[in-house]
Structure 1
């Protein structure tokens, strides 16, 4: 062992030790690694910083943006609705459906991309079902990794191993040669995660799940809004047609507060803010808050050409994608103190309606519009999410308190959902067909998202999880350092010498273990490149078929369950799942051993030695 190799191994052990303790942060450790390796002369500056140009890093960043585009257009939330609807209130059913869906998608496209897309979906579902993300994010990552064991094109190591077999004169693998092994391991993974999830309960710092965020229903109860909501369609013979809301004076004269206007335009449903320039049309549906319940009478509706419609959700909860709520409090220096709700002209100024007022924690049931506001009063405003977000930027006369949980479900670009799906389909088709590299396919998807206005630049930059990217970039130089100093070659030579006359099962187990452990420190593709020739040569020396040995290497290359840095898939869920390094060790190491045992027993049965 050379001095340089000993130094690299010491740095590697130190970095892993710091990852385990969690101090300093993992991305800080990664930056320190990039600094120390060139300063110590092991790598050049260009080699140490090469990770910033690695296509996989760009791919991951692009997939974060794709995922955010699906969230902003409501596509991700609709997938989450489907998962939640199919799962009902069963966390078990949700976990099973999740792992099956992710593994199926990952078998034909980048598992990293699938996981990146599902992260915001699961966060939304977890919030609605009151489940900690800790219990879902690791099953998501494991399913993404297992997807690499299902088809030939599911992951790069499969293709590497296949190419090495063909180069050595063997037949190689077919598209579905991996499927029997992957399906068995997927079922094993589902069963294992159903048991292991008890070890992923919310931690002491997981306060969001001890104290759930307030929801629409909480606000409806606190402000006594239930029963005041109405949906009224404007009939073709209505006298309101052609007039604006200020002109018809439904609020000032009759206490019927129009929250929003539903309108079908170009075969699409739009939610319009009740601003003074909106002219009412036949077929428009008014979302109305009845401040004065006495107007709720058939004669009132008949005289104005209005037709009451059925309401599915309590006080417009079924409209939460488009219509939002927020609590507003008046600070001591507010110029609005002493004025009534009508004096505030909230709808004219901000496109929002005041529908509730609490004083001393008690909601006022009557006189809301004329009541003079006092210090400490809390107002409940309702309107489009866009108007609420704009209100947050204006804090001199009032302060917007924390928004309800439904804000996560809002889709600011809901009308662009078909275009977001088109961009996603183009990206997937390019990845599956192989016409362009995956990173270019993801960048094309990002550009299409921007072109169709599914996402803007500010949202795109905020969507990227920079901590995860820095961690990946900082660990990539270790792979090159181990190769340059002879660390990988030394390990491979030691394995070949130690095998000796051991039987084929022992050799398969040793190859699996070597591949899995090596994959902790370098990419699984590089691991497959290094170990596949050794596996095939060992099979030749033992006068055995090379396919089982190559298959073991491919399966082990995808079995990166043991640490959060052994695969980008694990790194992606590290933050959203609020995991520590030890969480992956505790859950991943036993599962890797189970996968190794199943693989060593199953491979010789389906691929005779």
Structure 2
């Protein structure tokens, strides 16, 4: 191997080490590797490393652009409440741990086959809270299974994970072998989902701990008093409190119902809701935000309805009333809060206790924390003003556009249908869906741009550049031949070696970076054996996604680390056997579907 190959291997090893140790961000480490290789090539005049054009080529990769567009599609589905409307009826009938897991994980796995895993897990985090509280279960036995189910479902289609798209696009560019179709991975993905979900259902009570005590200290001590009204003719009318999902919202207590001027305290879960009912809740911010998104409820007194800002441009903002606020000592209604600030008071927190009377009659005091529905510009306008302290926006608090849920689901179905057809590429189908979602205002253009996880795209683009350097320098070919040598020219053993190498690398760094770095090694190995690269590419796709053993192996694993109160060894204890089960399943199926000859 030439010095260019040794240098590339050394740089890649250092990049992987830096990411695995946590001392550098994935994007930072990968870009530093690109800088070293490009600079060396420029200084020495060597063409066997990496030219600037090759380093930048990854950012124009069609797979990368498809991933970015799928973030927009996921934002449109989330913004309209389409996903929640599909799964809420299933979750409402859960009775115990295994029942809750089955009703939670099966729709998650199905949805993640067609949506990016990250927004799906983010969408279901509050659902896990709700299930755990309502059934008296430890949330730690639901959060990690949630992440694992999303990962498993993503192995079923090309659009299930960004990794599949990127690797398939690399296959199309570097080989004469036909690229995979949308549902080809289902041959491996569906059996992996069945095996994985069975393992989760059987082994959770034995291998996942109860972390309720570790999470008790993290609860938000603030309690808001919030009023909502049951919309006349809406889906809540005629349903009981329990059927509407209002009885056991996490850390949210239904204090009373006001109906036709009469108050109903100590509300029974069998109480049937009527149009115009005013419901008074006391609870934490996160649950108040979830309540704000529920279909069939609206802020009481109609203050939010009279805001000039269109509903699709609003968000929730927290603000603490200061001593200098001109409305201190006046009620919200008498002080004409909405007209003065172009913001509607949704809830008030004062010392964690319930406030009596209607929300509009609450007399504001310095130190009161207000939850406001308003335009995002309110934060900038009031941040340096004297009326409020600690003005800050609430993440993911835009009101859901439930009336467009069906439309967004139709657009998703159309995207899947177009992608599965032989006439339109996945990129084209995703672009059509993203444009339709923005044109129909299912998601605002600014929100669509903000929904894109640019860090993920930067990691993918930089990793493609390093993968190109591995190919240019001959390092990939040398590694491929070494794996073949160790496998004694046996294709099945070589396939297992590629799978294992990808899996180990993925657990140390990100799945996208690992897949792109191992791809040229796998192709070189297939060429040395004189076999099709397709089974090796499928092995990379599955191994790079099936990362269950560490929190850093997959982004969704990291997302549930804090909420679940997990420790590193929880991932090893529960995830390592699942890694091995999926690996065995994949290695048994791949050679039969894509023969090694």
Work out which of the two has the higher radius of gyration on C-alpha atoms and give 1 or 2.
1
CA displacement 1:531-555 (0-9 Å, x = unmatched): 44555x36xxxxxxx9xx9757634
Q: Determine the C-alpha separation between the residues in 1 that align with 2:452 and 2:117.
A: 14
**1:449-497 Cα shifts (integer Å, max 9, x gaps):** 1100111222112211122221112211121111111122223333444
Aligned pair partner of 2:52 in 25, 34, 45 = 45
Any unmatched runs of 5+ in structure 2? 42-48, 133-138, 237-254, 264-272, 283-287, 300-315, 507-513
TM alignment of 1:25-174, pairs within 5 A: 25-41=25-41, 42-82=49-89, 84-85=91-92, 88=94, 90=96, 92-97=98-103, 100-101=106-107, 103-104=109-110, 113-116=115-118, 118-129=120-131, 131=139, 135-136=144-145, 138-148=147-157
Q: CA deviation at 1:575?
A: 5.7
The answer (yes or no) to whether the contact 1:340–1:371 under 8 Å persists in 2 is yes
Cα pair distance change 1:296/1:494, threshold 3 Å:
closer
Alpha-carbon distance in 1 for matches of 2:558, 2:77: 20
Counterpart of 1:237 in structure 2 is none
Quote the Cα distance in structure 2 between the aligned partners of 1:363 and 1:190: 43
Which residue number in structure 1 is paired with residue 409 of structure 2? 421
Corresponding residue for residue 464 of structure 1: 452
**2-structure distance, mates of 1:150, 1:70:** 15
Judged with a 3 Å threshold, the aligned counterparts in structure 2 of structure 1 residues 581 and 164 are, in CA distance, closer, same or farther, namely: farther
CA distance in 2, matches of 1:65, 1:142: 20
- Measured against aligned partners, the alpha-carbon deviations of 1:176-222 in whole angstroms (never above 9, x if no partner) come to 99766544433322244454798887999x9988524579xx534xx
Using the TM superposition, give the Cα deviation of residue 144 of structure 1 relative to its aligned residue in structure 2, in angstroms. Answer: 3.5
The residue aligned with 1:343 is: 334
Equivalent in 453, 461, 481 of residue 493 of structure 1: 481
Give 1:370 shift. Answer: 7.3
What is the SS of the residue equivalent to 1:522?
helix
Decide whether the 8 Å contact of 1:146 with 1:559 is kept in 2.
no
| Partner SS, residue 23 of structure 1 | coil
C-alpha distance in 1 between matches for 2:403 and 2:82: 10
Question: Would the aligned equivalents of 2:73 and 2:434 in 1 still touch at CA under 8 Å?
Answer: yes
Shift of 1:73: 1.1
Instruction: Please say if residues 468 and 571 of structure 1, whose CA atoms lie closer than 8 Å, have aligned partners that are also in contact.
Output: no
Contact 1:202 1:209 in 2 (8 A): no
Q: CA deviation at 1:79?
A: 3.5
Contact 1:330 1:399 in 2 (8 A): yes
Q: Shift of residue 68 of structure 1?
A: 1.1
User: Judging changes above 3 Å, is the alpha-carbon distance between structure 1 residues 563 and 606 closer, same or farther for their aligned structure 2 residues?
Assistant: closer
What corresponds to 2:262 in structure 1? 296
The reply to whether residue 560 of structure 1 matches residue 544 of structure 2 is yes
How has the CA–CA distance of structure 1 residues 532 and 330 changed in structure 2, closer, same or farther, with 3 Å as cutoff? same
Q: Does 126-135 or 70-79 show the bigger shift?
A: 126-135
The SS at the match of 1:323 is: strand
User: Does the Cα contact within 8 Å between 1:27 and 1:470 map onto a contact in 2?
Assistant: yes
Unaligned runs of 5+ in 1: 230-258, 270-288, 298-306, 539-545
Matched, 1:448 2:400: no
Deviation string for 1:387-428 (max 9, x for gaps)? 799589546424577889xx8576343332233223222221
Match of 2:224 in 1: 219
Q: CA deviation at 1:58?
A: 1.2
Count, aligned residues: 512
| Distance in structure 2 (CA, Å) of the matches to 1:72 and 1:178 | 29
Q: 1:491 to 1:411 in 2, by over 3 A?
A: same
Separation in structure 2 between the aligned mates of residue 139 and residue 4 of structure 1, nearest angstrom: 39
Give the distance between the partners of 2:27 and 2:53, measured in 1 at CA. 19
Q: 2:14 matched to which residue of 1? A: 14
Q: Does the 8 Å contact 1:329/1:399 carry over to 2?
A: yes
| Inter-partner Cα distance in structure 1 for 2:259 and 2:112 | 54
Question: Where do residues 407-418 of structure 1 align in structure 2 (5 Å cutoff)?
Answer: 411-418=399-406
Deviation digits for residues 5-31 of structure 1 (CA, Å, limit 9, x no counterpart): 111111111111111121222221122
- Secondary structure, counterpart of 1:334 in structure 2: coil
C-alpha distance 499-47 of structure 1, shift in aligned 2 (>3 A):
same
Q: Deviations over 1:265-290 (max 9, x none)?
A: xx999xxxxxxxxxxxxxxxxxxx99
C-alpha offsets along residues 334-353 of structure 1, whole Å, 9 cap, x if unaligned? 11233344431235544646
Shift, 1:594, TM fit: 3.5
SS of equivalent residue, structure 1 residue 343: coil
Change (3 A) 1:292 1:14: closer
Q: What residue number does 2:246 align with?
A: none
Between the aligned partners of 1:62 and 1:329, the Cα distance in structure 2 is 38
Q: Distance in 2 between matches of 1:60 and 1:52?
A: 12
TM-score, reference length from structure 1: 0.65
Question: Following TM superposition, by how much is the alpha carbon of 1:262 offset from its aligned partner in structure 2, in angstroms?
Answer: 4.0
- Considering only aligned residues, what root-mean-square deviation do their CA atoms show, in Å? 5.5
- 1:443–1:477 CA distance, 2 compared to 1 (3 A): same
Q: Secondary structure at the match of 1:470?
A: helix
Deviation at 1:375, TM superposition (A): 3.2
User: Within 1, Cα distance between the matches of 2:419 and 2:403?
Assistant: 26
What is the alpha-carbon distance in structure 2 between the residues aligned to residue 173 and residue 27 of structure 1? 28
| 1:256 corresponding residue in structure 2 | none
Q: How does 1:512-527 map to 2 (within 5 A)?
A: 512-513=499-500, 520-522=514-516
1:250-305 deviation per Cα after TM superposition (whole angstroms, max 9, x unaligned)? xxxxxxxxx769466xx999xxxxxxxxxxxxxxxxxxx999999539xxxxxxxx
Partner of 2:310: none
Give matches, 1:201-350, under 5 Å. Answer: 210-213=217-220, 218-220=223-225, 262=231, 295-296=261-262, 309=275, 320-321=293-294, 322-323=297-298, 329-346=320-337, 348-349=339-340, 350=342
Q: Deviations over 1:579-598 (max 9, x none)?
A: 99988994766544444444
Task: Label 1:37 to 1:369 Cα distance change in 2 as closer, same or farther (>3 A).
Answer: closer
